[in-house]
Amino acid sequence: MAKHFKEIMNDITTFVFDVDGVLTDSSVFVTNEGEILRTMNIRDGYAMKAAVESGYNVCIISGGSNEGVRVRLRNLGIKDIHLGTPDKVVTFKEYTDLYNINPEQVLYMGDDIPDFHVMKLVGLPTCPQDASPEIKNICRYISHVKGGKGAARDVIEQVMKVQGKWMEHFSGKHD
């Protein structure tokens, strides 16, 4: 019998997130100059910063590339930011090899076809409520929250609560 997703959460040491459709709502704003702007959820940022400060590995793997996104994620304390990634599986394997991370201890949140193959490699594949059907079919947990609206916060908070770390360190300084 397969483990319940809450049991798997006990073993999670690493969070990996896609950007578009997970940390954003998949929408982009295009300026007259052709600059692409995205919005990100403050609660997702708060939770990612809390995870970093609590000793979890947090990694971003995205096919898209945007300097504003990189700056935002760095400001949250995330060091492993892989934007413009042509092959997420290769990037994921390089990341887990570099830090000697067991893929079974990884929670990956993705939302669409480019995440499919890498999500099959992890212990806890998850997705936002509005992910593609193909992704939902392989997930052990589907958030009740849409991408860009707090889905990352949902999974981080659940893992940290299961492990007894959620309220341990908050100081009110997170953004």
> Residue 144, class by beta-carbon neighbours within 10 Å (0-12 exposed, 13-18 middle, 19+ buried)?
exposed
pLDDT, position 1: 65
- Residue type for 154, please? D
pLDDT, position 46: 95
pLDDT at 173 over 80: no
- Using DSSP, state whether 153 is helix, strand or coil: helix
18 labelled binding-site residue? yes
The backbone torsions φ and ψ at residue 95, rounded to the nearest 5 degrees and listed phi first, read -65, -50
Average pLDDT, stretch 5-31?
94
**Bridge partner residues of 37 (DSSP):** 29
User: pLDDT tens digits for 20-34?
Assistant: 999 999 888 898 998
CATH for 5-162 is: 3.40.50.1000
DSSP for 40-101?
Answer: --HHHHHHHHHHHHTT-EEEEE-S---HHHHHHHHHTT--EEE-S-S-HHHHHHHHHHHTT-
Q: What percent of the chain has pLDDT over 90?
A: 83
20 labelled binding-site residue? yes
pLDDT, position 149: 98
pLDDT at 102 over 60: yes
User: pLDDT tens digits for 30-50?
Assistant: 989 988 888 999 999 999 999
pLDDT, position 99: 98
Average pLDDT, stretch 100-106?
98
d(CA 69, CA 12): 25
d(CA 124, CA 147): 17
pLDDT, position 27: 86
Mean pLDDT of the chain: 94
Q: Are 139 and 120 in contact (CB under 8 A)?
A: no
Whether the full predicted model's pTM is greater than 0.75, yes or no, is yes
- Using DSSP, state whether 110 is helix, strand or coil: coil
